[in-house]
A and B are shown apart, each in its own frame.
Chain A
């Protein structure tokens, strides 16, 4: 049983093994520590020259990654907590995302910046956030999110070797210890993969009758949505389906629109704050594309910082119960 952490760690090892152009940079990533979330365990022992521990300089190390990529390397930069990615916002938005295009496509930046986002660990307002919403829609930057489905390591491998543009790879920290749900052994679910490099997934309960609600969620929220889907079926006999994208930006709405025009009810679930977020964009796009008789609901974090104390942290972040409540409100 492979966990998401093991899959990503093995993928990093494979990337470093496959090409001398791959470098891995980040804070506290050397053995025996192996990174704050242990994604780097064993890497510096095997590849001492290409696993580089850095100063506490998030903007600086993303810039270093951009420079390496411009000179023919394929760097992976770890930002220890996703919350710190704001420190590198200038590097991502004004440099990584623009250099190719503003040079008239005369330069390429095969850079991967990977970072753990998300709450549920009691780390408080500045170590629990889901901040990718601020980077979605930045032209020239791809944003990809790992889930516990299929092969998270393949996503990383694809970003490193097949994508010549900068990628912000978002990993929810609660997913790291999760066991991967393989497509051919997916408990009560039928899971269909769509696309190859950054695939989407279409999930239904095995043997489910016609569905009347389409949920869409990425990252750890897809795990909660899956639980909600099962519970709604068992407890309320409401049958739903779930779409799990991995590429968040640019976002492709086609399949979601196709499903929405069948079920006519869509629930968009995200862990970021609700206002002006991913769900707002998905919802707007759906309403533009599916013209009539469509109901869209959203579940997201409350529009406030994430508190440290467990009891109130749980109030702020989305939960299976909130997803179920909103599903009932929409689809009843």
Chain B
């Protein structure tokens, strides 16, 4: 076994934080402690962790309904996320947003598929206008490629050569529908048709994802316009909670290539043990604290518009 580097340990820790947080979340649903819905990222952790390892202060991340992994990889608070999911006043958005609508610092998630993409284009326009060095990372899935507004947005992103990093996580299913039944043609060709430099990758190694993402983000920061990274991936858990109609053998085949295992294998046994213990404790504490937090008071329901003179 190779000597484990600090980087390997960090990547493993970041992925494990997402995995254990989400596994606990799914365990909690049947008990009725969680109201509403969720979309877990289990199996896809290497994507967010690898890509966002290249982000810098001031960058923007635009995410979607499956946003918990992106949020934790961005550096969001696990405790505030748990509180949001448990509908507490201490949640990221005070319980207004819930699982799919998270805004913290420069992180924006919305559960409406595709509609986030032109907004990301506008953000990148503004960042470019400031003549800074910021990037806008935009995560979408294969299902979102069915939304027409995505193509309006990538057209403008390319036309105006904006600093946008499109990440398409092709987890091969749009909710329950396999990609073969809803997507014609080629995913890369969609971006390439608009003149966007695009790379596709079988995403089971976080280090490799990070390396590719680093090259891409360097190019974008050097002023080479938007780029797309297509990550062929797989979610191990249901689309939402109990709605899995996929072939269990297929899930088992992908589980055998679990990116978390590959990341763990690069970390020394003793370090790995320490990471697992501390992440498990962090998850315990995040949910325990959130459970003790107050529900939002009725007074927090303030009007959505300013009263103007």
A91 and B120 alpha carbons, distance in the complex (Å) = 12
Contact A101 B96 (CB under 8 A): yes
A103 and B119 alpha carbons, distance in the complex (Å) = 16
Residues of A within 8 A of B130 (CB): 71-72
- Residue of B130, B153, B302, B308 with most chain A CB atoms under a 10 A cut-off: B308
- The chain A residue sitting closest to B121, CB to CB, is A64
Task: Determine whether B306 belongs to the interface, using a CB cutoff of 8 Å to chain A.
Answer: yes
Set A91, A101, A164, A250: member contacting B115, Cβ < 8 A:
A91
A59 and B119 alpha carbons, distance in the complex (Å) = 10
Digit string of A44-80 for contact with B (CB within 8 Å is 1, else 0)?
0000000000110101111111111111110100000
Residues of B within 8 A of A100 (CB): 304
Residues of A within 8 A of B308 (CB): 158, 162-163, 197-198
Task: Determine whether B155 belongs to the interface, using a CB cutoff of 8 Å to chain A.
Answer: yes
Residues of A within 8 A of B159 (CB): 55
The smallest C-beta distance from A22 to any residue of chain B, in angstroms, reads 11
Residues of B within 8 A of A196 (CB): 309
A196 and B308 alpha carbons, distance in the complex (Å) = 9
Contact B101 A60 (CB under 8 A): no
A-contacting residues, B123-178, CB 8 Å: 123-127, 129-130, 148-149, 152-153, 155-156, 159
Contact A57 B155 (CB under 8 A): yes
Set A54, A90, A104: member contacting B96, Cβ < 8 A:
A104
Answer whether A140 and B117 are a contact pair too, CB < 8 Å, given A54-B156, A73-B129: no
Contact A68 B125 (CB under 8 A): yes
A166 and B172 alpha carbons, distance in the complex (Å) = 37
Contact A67 B124 (CB under 8 A): yes
Task: Determine whether B122 belongs to the interface, using a CB cutoff of 8 Å to chain A.
Answer: yes
Contact A57 B125 (CB under 8 A): no
A214 and B126 alpha carbons, distance in the complex (Å) = 47
A71 and B155 alpha carbons, distance in the complex (Å) = 21
- The chain B residue sitting closest to A162, CB to CB, is B308
Which of B30-38, B49-57, B66-74, B103-111 forms part of the interface with chain A? B103-111
Contact A60 B153 (CB under 8 A): yes
The smallest C-beta distance from B79 to any residue of chain A, in angstroms, reads 16
Q: How large is the interface on A (under 10, 10 to 19, 20 to 34, 35 or more residues)?
A: 35 or more
Contact A140 B125 (CB under 8 A): no
Contact B126 A68 (CB under 8 A): yes
Contact A140 B304 (CB under 8 A): yes
A70 and B105 alpha carbons, distance in the complex (Å) = 11
A141 and B303 alpha carbons, distance in the complex (Å) = 11
Task: Determine whether B189 belongs to the interface, using a CB cutoff of 8 Å to chain A.
Answer: no
Contact B149 A71 (CB under 8 A): no
- Residue of A101, A158, A196 with most chain B CB atoms under a 10 A cut-off: A101
Set A63, A94, A95: member contacting B121, Cβ < 8 A:
A63
Q: How large is the interface on B (under 10, 10 to 19, 20 to 34, 35 or more residues)?
A: 35 or more
The smallest C-beta distance from B74 to any residue of chain A, in angstroms, reads 15
A70 and B94 alpha carbons, distance in the complex (Å) = 20
Contact A67 B149 (CB under 8 A): no
Contact A104 B121 (CB under 8 A): no
Task: Determine whether B305 belongs to the interface, using a CB cutoff of 8 Å to chain A.
Answer: yes
Digit string of A18-36 for contact with B (CB within 8 Å is 1, else 0)?
0000010000000000000
Set B119, B123, B127, B305: member contacting A250, Cβ < 8 A:
B305
Contact B152 A67 (CB under 8 A): no
Residues of A within 8 A of B97 (CB): 102-104
Residues of B within 8 A of A67 (CB): 118-126
Contact A90 B115 (CB under 8 A): yes
Contact B120 A60 (CB under 8 A): no
- Residue of A94, A104, A165 with most chain B CB atoms under a 10 A cut-off: A104
Residues of B within 8 A of A63 (CB): 115, 117-119, 121-122, 149, 152-153
Task: Determine whether B93 belongs to the interface, using a CB cutoff of 8 Å to chain A.
Answer: yes
Residues of A within 8 A of B122 (CB): 63-71, 75
Contact A103 B103 (CB under 8 A): yes
Contact A60 B156 (CB under 8 A): yes
The smallest C-beta distance from B127 to any residue of chain A, in angstroms, reads 6
Contact A71 B304 (CB under 8 A): no
Set A65, A99, A141: member contacting B103, Cβ < 8 A:
A99
Task: Determine whether A204 belongs to the interface, using a CB cutoff of 8 Å to chain B.
Answer: no
Set A61, A75, A90: member contacting B112, Cβ < 8 A:
A90
- The chain A residue sitting closest to B112, CB to CB, is A94
A315 and B16 alpha carbons, distance in the complex (Å) = 68
Residues of B within 8 A of A327 (CB): none
Task: Determine whether A107 belongs to the interface, using a CB cutoff of 8 Å to chain B.
Answer: yes
Task: Determine whether A139 belongs to the interface, using a CB cutoff of 8 Å to chain B.
Answer: yes
Task: Determine whether B60 belongs to the interface, using a CB cutoff of 8 Å to chain A.
Answer: yes
Contact B108 A60 (CB under 8 A): no
Residues of B within 8 A of A95 (CB): 110, 112, 115-116, 119
- The chain A residue sitting closest to B309, CB to CB, is A196
Contact A64 B108 (CB under 8 A): no
Residues of B within 8 A of A65 (CB): 122
The smallest C-beta distance from A150 to any residue of chain B, in angstroms, reads 16
Task: Determine whether A187 belongs to the interface, using a CB cutoff of 8 Å to chain B.
Answer: no
Answer whether A64 and B156 are a contact pair too, CB < 8 Å, given A71-B60, A104-B96, A140-B304: yes
Could you list 20 A-B pairs, sorted by A, with CB under 8 Å?
A55-B155, A55-B159, A60-B118, A60-B121, A60-B153, A60-B155, A64-B119, A64-B156, A65-B122, A67-B120, A68-B125, A70-B122, A71-B60, A71-B127, A72-B130, A73-B126, A103-B103, A163-B308, A165-B306, A195-B309
Given contacts A67-B124, A67-B126, 17 further A-B contacts (CB under 8 A): A54-B156, A55-B152, A66-B119, A66-B122, A67-B118, A70-B122, A71-B126, A71-B130, A95-B115, A95-B116, A95-B119, A98-B304, A102-B103, A103-B101, A104-B96, A104-B103, A139-B305
A-B pairs with lowest CB-CB distance, top 5: A67-B122, A63-B118, A60-B152, A71-B126, A103-B103
